[in-house]
Amino acid sequence: MREEDSNWFAKWEDELPSPEELMPLSQTLITPDLAIAFDIRNPNSPNQFHPPPPTLNQNQINNVNTAANSPQPNSSAEFDSDLGGTGGNGAAGSGCGSGLDEPARTLKRPRLVWTPQLHKRFVDAVAHLGIKNAVPKTIMQLMSVDGLTRENVASHLQKYRLYLKRMQGINNGGNGGGGNGNSPVGLSGSGVDTAMDRLFASAPVPAHFLRPNADHFMPYPPVSMQVHHPQIAVQPPMVGHGPQLQQQFRHFGHSPTNGQFEHPFLGRQSQQQQVQRIGASIHGNDNDHHGMPASYVEDMESATAANGRKVLTLFPNGED
DNA sequence: TTCTAAATAT
DNA sequence: TATATTTAGA
């Protein structure tokens, strides 16, 4: 009896995992998957990254990274290649530089840092869904970023809505109540400029987000929507006449009234005006790109359509 | 279950 | 203090 007990104990003890096999109490706050996703390097660990996780859209992340790494006049440049490595690690302290090879299951979810790249993805998702349908779960699914939770998105959405609300106030009342309603979304002159504001400003807020009755307009132009290079020819993807054209205007969120249409970034203008403004952006004749972030301009310049024309892809990183 | 606003934690 | 997470009520 007693001998059996001691045998059992010895056996049990023998089967205990070695210290190397034990999951450390302190773990990295950024999961390997997330680290891969956002190209976060841990200075403490020389580990190289593993191949990207299956669900992660690595191409899009890479695109985003490239855009962020090249110097831009845009304010987003200050976020630069720092893709969240700053704040993320501090919380748990105890920097146990665990050289884990297998995905470390974090005991507590790491504090997510919303980088401009991640936020842009968020905005793209919201824009794609339309404000009406943009709820955390759907947004999360559309973003398809490994490790991103519904709670993360819900929290961010909460802040983003507050931001939009504030921007609406600025655009409607606070800003002298301009009549054309095409002011690019930004904080210039508002006096509000927190880090969060800069983050939100780093991705363009589609103009129709700020319309009180935004659901009158269909969501965002689909990914496939492209505008040809203005210098050569601007052909918004509107074809046809009469009801057909109107339908398309509605579909793309454009207002067909008075021959003007609603550009997601530039607001309501005649096509001619938009041609000029976009053209100026491309050729560096304006600095703020009328609300379009530099990454978009860069995409505009780099993208080339099959027919050789340069194109502006409204969803440079989008899927569809 | 999920969303949202508010409270709480870091 | 700013921002992310958690909680609680709908």
Å between CA of A91 and C1' of B9: 11
The pair of structure tokens assigned to A128 is 């794609």
* CA–CA gap between residue A107 and residue A153 (Å, rounded): 20
* CA–CA gap between residue A249 and residue A243 (Å, rounded): 10
* A111 CA: nearest nucleotide by C1': C4
Helix (H, G, I), strand (E, B) or coil at A313: strand
b (16+ CB within 10 A) / e for A279-296: bebbeeeeeebbbbbbbb
How sure is the predictor about A292, in pLDDT bands with cuts at 50, 70 and 90? Answer: very low
Which bases along strand B come within 7 Å of a protein CB atom?
Answer: 2-6, 10
What is the tens place of the pLDDT at every residue in A221-258? Answer: 333 332 322 222 222 333 233 343 333 333 333 333 43
Q: Which amino acid, one-letter code, is at A289?
A: H
What is the tens place of the pLDDT at every residue in A83-96? Answer: 333 333 333 333 33
Percent share of chain A, pLDDT over 90: 11
Query: What is the pLDDT of chain A when averaged over all its residues?
Result: 50
pLDDT reported for residue A65: 33
How sure is the predictor about A4, in pLDDT bands with cuts at 50, 70 and 90? Answer: low
Interval A169-178 mean pLDDT: 55
* CA–CA gap between residue A312 and residue A223 (Å, rounded): 11
Whole-prediction pTM: 0.44
* A199 CA: nearest nucleotide by C1': C3
Q: Which residue has the higher pLDDT, A203 or A302?
A: A203
* CA–CA gap between residue A20 and residue A35 (Å, rounded): 23
Under 8 Å between Cβ of A119 and A200: yes
| A126 CB closer than 7 A to any strand B atom | no
What is the tens place of the pLDDT at every residue in A126-148? Answer: 988 888 789 999 999 999 888 89
How sure is the predictor about A202, in pLDDT bands with cuts at 50, 70 and 90? Answer: confident
How sure is the predictor about A50, in pLDDT bands with cuts at 50, 70 and 90? Answer: very low
* CA–CA gap between residue A75 and residue A289 (Å, rounded): 12
Q: Residues at the strand C interface (CB under 7 A)?
A: A 108-114, 151-152, 154-156, 158-159, 194-196, 199
* CA–CA gap between residue A211 and residue A231 (Å, rounded): 30
| A158 CB closer than 7 A to any strand B atom | yes
